Amino acid sequence: MDSVLQAPMTVFTFLAGVCAAIYWSTQQPWGKRFFEIVPPVLLVCYIPAICTNLGLIPARSEAYEWMRDYLLPMSLFLLIVGADVPSVLKVGKKAIIVMLFGTLGVVIGAPVSLLLFQDWLPPDIWKGMAAISGSWIGGGANFAALKESVDAPDGIAGAAIIVDATITFTWLGVMLYLAKFPNLLDRFYASDTRTLEELDRRFSDFKEATQRMPTMVDFIIMVALGLGAAVFCGKFAETVHPVLHPMIESFSMSMASVFSQFTWLILMLTTLGIAASFTPLRKMEQAGSSTFGFAALYLFFTSLGAQADLARILDMPIFLLVGIVWLFIHVCFLLLGAWLTKAPFFLVAVGSEANLGGYATAPVVASAFYRSMAPVGLLLSIFGGVIGTYCGLLAAFLLRTVAN
């Protein structure tokens, strides 16, 4: 059935209106109490999903592709360019350890959850779970890589996509809600949050001391630099990927599957943003470059919600239950890693989202806890993208071993 709105620009304008209406509501007296309980970014995801399933906007549109290729890179560049990168990297060691515990939870949780429910599922379901394991460690590109590696049938892969999207979409909502309780479990674990609090305080003090009213010139520069970085890195990826892909493929098929064209874009964008943060361009933060970046990122989030097919969630209820148990095991490993390293709950949330969500969602969850920590989420998600296929292949081997 065709949706009411079809033209890409019309769809984009509608989503921008939804995003604007939600954040306008947060500033109204009647909305403040509601949004103290419900994070507005949740509605940014779920309202477009409801609109799609009501037939108001399409589940597939060129508008979503444009937002992925340009709006997402623009937002990430503006978030990085104003960051105090050396300070952010101080949380790197614990962040990577906790994230790797989460990755281990995905790898081990796969065969365990399959063993519990395989009597009620098709014999080839392990192939769909192998594809999910790639996505849950590195993102969509790794889903496709694992699907091809195990030759998952289209029917199984389609069901896996629904389970993957449903679990990760819902888990994102849980993480954003828990961001309202940033010290959850920290006392129990005797976690040291001083570094995070000091970094956030330093960033806030710096911003308060240097912030100025942005001018028209500031906004034009932000748009030009953000979109310029997106276009430049996109062209770089288009040029580099066809040249290097055959060379990497001859060395390792698994490694070649990791370095997709979009992966090259993100790697170049991150490198460019970090380099720019050591130049006078960092002064853009005085005019609110990160605020502008978050606005673009939240607008991109509406496109993620619009592509969620809520109507198919219950098509394979047992498969969905497998995903829930699998997620539970992942979380248990994250909490174990946090306990062993005395890491704050912030790193549990970001480590989980860097595994399950990837480039777009990890920075949002990080900033929901500490606004200055968005680059931590992005850097962890890049690391997850690199190891995703390798760990996914290990999970696929374990799944094949225990499958009937």
Q: Rounded mean pLDDT of 329-353?
A: 86
| pLDDT over 90 at 163, yes or no | no
Residue in 323, 353, 374 with CA at minimum distance from that of residue 173? 353
Model pLDDT, residue 386: 64
Q: Using CA atoms, how far apart are residues 204 and 273, in angstroms rounded to an integer? A: 20
Q: How sure is the predictor about 67, in pLDDT bands with cuts at 50, 70 and 90?
A: confident
Model pLDDT, residue 84: 65
Q: Which of 63-67, 211-215, 236-240, 336-340 has the least mean pLDDT? A: 211-215
Q: Considering the chain, what percentage of its residues have pLDDT values greater than 70?
A: 77
Model pLDDT, residue 132: 84
| pLDDT over 70 at 91, yes or no | no
Q: How sure is the predictor about 108, in pLDDT bands with cuts at 50, 70 and 90?
A: very high
| pLDDT over 70 at 314, yes or no | no
Q: How far apart are the first and last CA of the chain?
A: 39
Q: How sure is the predictor about 356, in pLDDT bands with cuts at 50, 70 and 90?
A: confident
254-266 pLDDT, tens digit per residue, is 556 556 677 788 7
Q: Rounded mean pLDDT of 338-353?
A: 83
CATH architecture of 8-402: Up-down Bundle (1.20)
Model pLDDT, residue 204: 65
Q: How sure is the predictor about 352, in pLDDT bands with cuts at 50, 70 and 90?
A: confident
Task: Rank 35-44, 132-141, 157-166, 343-352 by mean pLDDT and report only the highest.
Answer: 343-352
